[in-house]
Chains A and B, each alone.
Chain A
């Protein structure tokens, strides 16, 4: 028989309210900025209990802070996770996830289609600390499977890759991960929980660069890491950081302490405590200001992007448009299945005329800002081969779906007619020799 459970608030309501009660001390309706390093203990017994995790609460803002907690709980609710940790940046969120799960000798299998910063961390930096990554084509499930070895502890990909706009088949990659008893971490920065929830699709962990769409205003650097709470860490010996006593916290066995929040406990009690990449309270407040309109903004981002994609597809100066809205895009059907409301305000395209045409195009734009970011209210443009992905050789660039002539756009919230006019003028300029 069909069962209908009790109703839960819609994402639009969660984006505005989740995680916040009016301030009990003052009645303030807006989220107060608790700009304090530490919190007074009411008595010595409570102080000891807080330190020993016998009672929950705030001790020191590197570990937790009430303003950050509102953001963490709001994103956790939006993602339908069990909890979250706000971090100093998206990079810090990725680093925190990795270090909570593995140490020297650990291995990651990651999509080759990654943000350049993530690629740097995995390819150049972490090997120095004994953590290696094998990169695989995002769409090749056999390659994901083949790359998994005895020391693999994590699979990682972006919900929608940047800048080639390829869609990760989260349900399928999650199945591969779970066949091997390994969790899947998805970077959901580009899609946000409004367009699709990676945890619902099968991922175990999801992270965001909160700098992008979550905040939407491009004024802060921040990240969020969310745990779905479903992964069974104790099913194998692969995750001793969660299943064996941790001397750094009185021999705590995190998976015994709490099966559903073991990962977050380790990440907070060790990762934030020792690596210290916490978010500032003011940053959390600013991300929250943006988050309140996330549902409205994502709808407009998608609407504007659809208009721009259609315009570029019909333009003689453009040889190819990379966006799942285009019927010939290899992920067209997958995107419709996973992201029926639209999957990305990021697109890239190839200009007729290569690198020189690209330079003339970018220099002729007036509304689009030439900078290294995505997910702003303002429309943005960049040339990945010479900026975000400049450390990659041609082979790695090709694997990430980038050519010397690729131009990436992040479509903002301006009126679409004005964006089209700006692009039309710059495209005309790109054809002048």
Chain B
């Protein structure tokens, strides 16, 4: 469904339901160079279980046009503007990877817009290796390989997929491969540059869930545990999966989100 955000068209998947404000709202935010479809299973489930769902495409991602926002703060402002445009109040934000930073920053910058935070595959900070940034800067295929392979558990390429018939690593790489030139680098650079506003974290006064993958190669499990420890009152859920928990462990992630939301 198309919205107008900050004066420009913006897209969000509504979980194959007509958009109806008034129910508890969940806004899903994807990671670097991805789009709404990474939340395919979870967004569809909540949309059919009493929630108003928006799985957004950040600017220059998926079906949203425009310029990729260069900082996590700018992405967070855009998400807040989206929530306002959609006439939603006090939403639950669910972010993955870069999207988890955007969700957290949105809760810090726009506390009245956010009721709950679920941070999937989050580390605070979220450093990005020099080689990964360099490959992304050059739009080299190696950058897509790094995103796809480190974005899954080591054995994902050889294991039975949770989604019958799908090559999860290959599908993830092709989704990244569809992103516009330069977007992967812009996103990764934004993650790398984001500094944890430690002095502000203590002021967070909302339910928080951090979900960590025990086989995560992108944001290692220990880093996700540490992230939970930094956030006041945060609950932590451990999944037997790599970074791409939405497809590697869709049922377990759904369970964790359902209990939290």
**Given A3-B131, A55-B45, A260-B174, A17 contacting B158 (CB threshold 8 A):** yes
- How many of A's residues come within 8 Å of B, CB to CB? 54
**Given A4-B142, A54-B45, A259-B35, A20 contacting B160 (CB threshold 8 A):** yes
* 9 tightest Cβ-Cβ pairs between the two chains A and B: A5-B145, A3-B142, A5-B142, A229-B174, A54-B45, A72-B165, A3-B135, A82-B171, A76-B167
- Closest partner residue, chain B, to A84 (CB atom): B165
Contact of B171 among A5, A66, A261 (CB under 8 A): A261
Q: Is B220 an interface residue (CB 8 A)?
A: no
Instruction: Establish whether residues B160 and A21, one from each chain, have CB atoms under 8 Å apart when the complex forms.
Output: yes
- Closest partner residue, chain B, to A75 (CB atom): B167
Q: Is B196 an interface residue (CB 8 A)?
A: no
Q: Which of A56-64, A99-107, A346-354 makes up part of the contact surface? A: A56-64
Instruction: Establish whether residues A1 and B40, one from each chain, have CB atoms under 8 Å apart when the complex forms.
Output: no
Instruction: Establish whether residues B16 and A250, one from each chain, have CB atoms under 8 Å apart when the complex forms.
Output: yes
Instruction: Establish whether residues B171 and A259, one from each chain, have CB atoms under 8 Å apart when the complex forms.
Output: no
15 pairs from A and B in contact (CB 8 Å cutoff): A5-B144, A49-B45, A70-B160, A72-B164, A76-B167, A77-B157, A84-B167, A228-B174, A230-B177, A232-B178, A250-B16, A257-B13, A259-B178, A260-B174, A268-B165
Q: Is A81 an interface residue (CB 8 A)?
A: yes
Q: Is B204 an interface residue (CB 8 A)?
A: no
Instruction: Establish whether residues B161 and A252, one from each chain, have CB atoms under 8 Å apart when the complex forms.
Output: no
Instruction: Establish whether residues B157 and A69, one from each chain, have CB atoms under 8 Å apart when the complex forms.
Output: no
- Report Cα–Cα, A17/B156, bound state, in Å: 11
Q: Is A83 an interface residue (CB 8 A)?
A: yes
Chain A contact surface mostly: loop
| Bitwise interface map of B from 75 to 95 toward A, beta carbon under 8 Å scored 1, else 0 | 000000000000000000000
Contact of A83 among B144, B167, B250 (CB under 8 A): B167
**Given A6-B149, A18-B157, A19-B161, A257 contacting B37 (CB threshold 8 A):** yes
Residues of B within 8 A of A201 (CB): none
Contact of B175 among A72, A260, A268 (CB under 8 A): A260
Q: How far is the CB of B51 from chain A (nearest CB, A)?
A: 12
Instruction: Establish whether residues A81 and B167, one from each chain, have CB atoms under 8 Å apart when the complex forms.
Output: yes
Q: How far is the CB of B142 from chain A (nearest CB, A)?
A: 4
Contact of A259 among B16, B37, B48, B170 (CB under 8 A): B37
Residues of B within 8 A of A251 (CB): 16
Contact of A64 among B62, B135, B165 (CB under 8 A): B165
Instruction: Establish whether residues B178 and A21, one from each chain, have CB atoms under 8 Å apart when the complex forms.
Output: no
